[in-house]
């Protein structure tokens, strides 16, 4: 039966025998191509398409994944599940996206904030004495406004 799925007499990458990968499932076969075994990541394999005398194999690039185990409290798991549902992805996908978003955060760090404050104080020529006077003035203003507010609440 020439050209059938089981006939491997013809040469070429489309006629190589299938290798079943662990967990590949029914109808999902992976093929050896140029020394690289595609069944290392069966989830990236695509089912073969039979087109008469030839067979086309559709494969995508394998993605490198690292499996890790983390201990998460119940509330964090609930939030992760909610994110996954909202983003319409798996929990792993939601975790990857959250980590990516958090790592791209461009807000200034504590050290950068303190450096900006030091620079502002230097530019204003704010010495210890004038800073203490300013603090006392602000304290008086706050105290005065709270007395007015309390007097309005209590007749």
pLDDT one-digit tens code per residue, 128-145: 888 899 899 999 998 888
pLDDT tens for each residue of 5-48: 554 444 445 444 444 444 444 444 444 444 444 444 444 555 55
**CB–CB of 79/72 below 8 Å?**
no
- Side-chain half-sphere CA neighbours of 132 within 13 A: 3
Res 80 pLDDT > 70: yes
> Domain extents for the chain?
1-65, 67-130
**According to the model, what pLDDT value does residue 90 have?**
95
State the pLDDT at residue 91: 95
To the question of pTM greater than 0.75 for the whole model, the response is no
- Using DSSP bridges, classify how beta strands 30-33 and 18-19 pair: parallel, antiparallel or unpaired: antiparallel
d(CA 32, CA 14): 10
Distances 28 to 24, 43, 91, 102 between C-alpha atoms, Å: 6, 9, 24, 36
Task: Name the 3-class secondary structure at 44.
Answer: helix
- What are the pLDDT digits (tens) for 49-65? 555 555 556 666 667 78
25/22 Cα distance (integer angstroms): 8
| 64-85: average pLDDT | 92
CB atoms within 10 A of CB 41: 17
pLDDT of residue 28: 44
Residue 121's SS3 state is helix
Between 154 and 80, where is the model more confident?
80
pLDDT in tens, 93-131: 999 999 999 998 888 889 999 999 999 888 988 788 888
Residue 53: C-alpha distances to residues 4, 24, 132 (Å): 7, 25, 90
């Amino acid at each position: 039966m020439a050209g059938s799925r089981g006939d491997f007499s013809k040469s070429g990458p489309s006629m190589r025998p299938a290798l079943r990968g662990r967990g590949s499932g029914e109808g999902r076969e992976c093929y050896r191509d140029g020394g690289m075994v595609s069944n290392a990541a069966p989830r990236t394999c695509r089912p073969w398409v039979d087109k008469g005398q030839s067979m086309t194999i559709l494969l995508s690039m394998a993605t490198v994944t690292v499996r890790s185990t983390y201990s998460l409290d119940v509330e964090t798991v609930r939030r992760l599940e909610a994110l996954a549902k909202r983003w319409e992805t798996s929990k792993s996908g939601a975790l990857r996206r959250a980590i990516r978003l958090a790592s791209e955060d461009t807000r200034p760090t504590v050290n950068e904030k303190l450096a900006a404050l030091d620079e502002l104080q230097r530019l204003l020529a704010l010495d210890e004495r004038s800073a203490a006077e300013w603090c006392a003035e602000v304290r008086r203003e706050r105290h005065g406004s709270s007395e007015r507010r309390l007097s309005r609440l209590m007749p």
